[in-house]
């Protein structure tokens, strides 16, 4: 056997016996890259893909403010949950048909929402601040998946914006999540 053949076979055997475990490479090298990615999220499918990367360990995040990452992710999931099951407290029909409808239109046209980032959904159950980030991500992923499987006719009116179709709700949820993600940075 030639020496080069021997070395090739030895290397192949070694690789089979002792595989190299590659460490997950960070998805972003800077907060600027992360911010650009977060700004580019267009729908819940994009959000889900980003969350999958977070779960894989390619992204380690932290958040500013009083709410933990887990609470923020769970709060965003809660909003999706209520679009499926009904919001606990609704603004008046007049509000939803005027101010709320106009607010949603403005947010949609701007592609950006602004709201109190530590304000609970009116009437919502309390979310613990001790929820782990990963658990919050899993809850948000669960409700994104349920939302994607739900037909437009089965969605409940938004507490402030009123009746939205599935595409509009996808936009509303995505803008809501992106607004909360403005406080997120790399750990």
Q: What is the pLDDT along the chain (187 residues), one digit of tens a residue?
A: 555 554 445 444 444 444 444 444 567 889 999 999 999 999 999 999 999 988 888 788 999 999 999 999 999 999 999 999 999 999 999 999 999 999 999 999 999 999 999 999 999 999 999 999 999 999 999 999 999 999 999 999 999 999 999 999 999 999 999 999 999 999 8
pTM of the model: 0.85
What does each C-alpha distance from 117 to 89, 139, 167 come to in angstroms? 18, 19, 23
Alpha carbon 175 to chain centroid distance? 10
Per the CB < 8 A criterion, the answer to whether 149 and 82 are in contact is: no
């Amino acid at each position: 056997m030639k020496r080069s053949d021997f070395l090739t076979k030895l290397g192949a055997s070694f690789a089979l016996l002792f595989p190299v475990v590659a460490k997950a490479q960070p998805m972003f090298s800077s907060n600027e890259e992360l911010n650009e990615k977060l700004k580019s999220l267009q729908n819940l499918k994009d959000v889900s893909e980003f969350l999958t990367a977070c779960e894989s360990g390619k992204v380690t995040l932290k958040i500013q403010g009083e709410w933990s990452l887990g609470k923020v992710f769970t709060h965003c999931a809660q909003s999706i949950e209520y679009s499926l099951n009904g919001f606990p407290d609704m603004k008046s029909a007049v509000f939803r048909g005027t101010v709320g409808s106009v607010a949603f239109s403005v947010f949609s046209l701007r592609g950006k929402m602004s709201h109190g980032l530590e304000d609970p959904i009116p009437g919502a159950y309390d979310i613990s601040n001790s929820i782990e980030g990963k658990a919050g991500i899993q809850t948000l992923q669960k409700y994104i998946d349920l939302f994607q499987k739900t037909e437009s006719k089965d969605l409940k009116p938004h507490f402030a914006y009123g009746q939205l179709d599935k595409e509009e709700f996808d936009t509303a949820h995505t803008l809501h999540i992106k607004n909360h993600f403005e406080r997120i940075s790399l750990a």
